[in-house]
Amino acid sequence: MQMQQRTPGGEQPYWPAGPFKIRLPFVHYRWEMAETIQGLVMFVVGLAMIPLLEKYLGMPYEAALAFTFIAGLGYILPALLGVPLVPGWITPAIPVVILFLNGFEPGPDAIKALFALQIEVTLIFLILGLTGWGSKLVQVIPNSLKSGIIIGAGIAALMGELKTGGRVDATPISLIIGSVVSAYVLFSLSFKNVVEQSVIARRIANFGMVPGMIIAMIVGWIVGEYPLPDIQWGITQPDFALMANYLTFAVGFPGWDVFLLAIPTALIAYVIAFGDIIVGFTLVERIDKVRTDEKIETNVDRVHVVTAIRNGIHAFFAPWPGLAGPLWTAAHATVAERYAMGRKAMDSIYSGGGTFWLTGLLALFCLPLVTMFKPVLPIALSLTLILTAYICIMVGMEQLRNPTERGVAGIVAVTLAMPDPKSTVYAVIIGLLLYFLIERPRLMGKHKTEDEFMFADPQESTESK
C-alpha cells in the first residue's frame, strides 16, 4: 500500500517539482509483485549491452558491468519524474550506431565518438523539450510519415534478427520457440479468452515476456545452443575505478570533426526515438480509455527533457551504444496489457513501470542472477527486438486512416528499413515529398482531406460548378 491515495478518476498523487511530477514507491504508488518478478528476469536485457561495450569500445567485462549500473539509474528516472512510459534504449537505432562506431578504433577513439553522438542526442531532446517544439512536432509531422517511421523501425529491427548470420540464424530453436510463446501470451486473442476462464492463464499473462524468455533459455541450454551457466554466489562487484578509465574525462574530449560526423546518426536516432514516443503514447491512450479510475498525463515535453537527462548522464559517465530511449516497447506493452486488466491487477501505470525498473536495478547486485543469465544474454536482446518489431508494425498500421496514407507510409517504411546508414534521412525526405505531391490536393493553402473527397455529396459538387 502507498501513503497517498488517488482520488477516483484523478491523477496518481505526486510532489510537484518544476516541469516534473515526483512519485516514490510506497509513498505515491504501491509495489507491484508481478512487475517485481518480471524485473528479476527482464533486467538481463540491460546486461545484453555488455558484449557491444566490449567489442566496440574495447573495455573489459568488469568495466562494462559498471556501465550497466549507470544505465540502471537512468531507467528509474521516467517513473520517478512523471513519465508514464517504461524506458529503454533507442533499440532500432543500434545498427546505425554500430555502423558509426565501426569508423573508429575500439578504445579511446570509439569512446570519444560515442560521447559526441550521445551529447548531440542530449541536446536535440533538451532543446525540443524546453522550447515545447517536441509537442508541436506531434501535430506538424504528417501522419503517413510518422506511421511509416514506426513501421520501418519495426521492419529494420526484425530483419536484423532474421538476416543470414543473425541471432535467429545462429540459434533458431530457442529464439523461435521463445518468440512464439511471448507473442502468444502478449497478443493472442485466443489466449485472452483463456485468461478470462483460467486463473493459471491469468497469472501467466501477468508476467508478459518472462514465460517466453525463460522457455527460450531452457530450450537453448537443452539443445546446446547456449552454454550452461557458471552460477556464483554473492553480490556483484562492478569495477567503477576501472570504468573511469573508459570515460571521456580519462581519454579526452573529441574534436569538432567527430561532432560533425556524429550529426547524421544523432538525427536518425532522434527520428526513431520520436516514433517510439508516438508508439508509447498510443498504447497509453488505448489503456487510458479502458481504465477510467486514473487519468494518465501524456506530456511530450517532459518525455523529451527526461530522455535528455538520461542521455547526458550516459555521455559523461557511461557512453551507451543503445543510447537512452524513451520507450522499451516490449516491456511497456507488457505493463500496459496488465494495467488494462483493472486496478486489482495494477494500481497505477506508474506503479507498474516504477516497480519494474527499481527491481531491475536491485537485481544487478544479485551475483547468482547475473552469472546465471550471462551465457544467454543474446536471447533477451533478440526477443526484445522481435516483439518490438511486431508492436511497431501493429501500432503504425493502426494509425493510418486511408489508402493514400497507407501507400506513402509503406514507401517510407521500406526506405527506412534499407541497410544504409542514411536510410532514415532518405525516408524522411521521401515521406515529405510524397505527402506534398500525393496526399495534399493543393500544394499550398487549405485543402480537403481524402476522406472528405470520398464522402463528399456528388450533387453538392455539381451545383457548385
pLDDT by residue, tens only, the chain of 465 residues: 677 888 888 889 999 998 899 999 999 999 998 889 888 888 887 888 888 898 889 999 889 999 999 999 999 999 999 999 999 998 777 777 877 888 888 999 999 999 999 999 999 999 998 887 876 766 677 888 888 877 887 888 788 788 877 788 888 899 899 889 888 888 888 888 887 788 888 777 767 777 888 899 999 999 988 888 888 998 888 889 999 999 999 999 999 989 988 887 788 788 778 878 888 888 888 888 888 888 998 888 999 999 999 999 999 999 999 899 999 877 888 888 888 888 888 889 999 999 999 999 999 999 998 888 888 888 887 887 888 788 788 878 888 888 888 899 999 889 888 877 567 678 888 888 998 888 877 656 555 555 555 545 545 444 444
Whole-number Å distance between alpha carbons of 287 and 290 = 5
Whole-number Å distance between alpha carbons of 264 and 261 = 7
- pTM of the predicted model as reported, rounded to 2 decimal places: 0.78
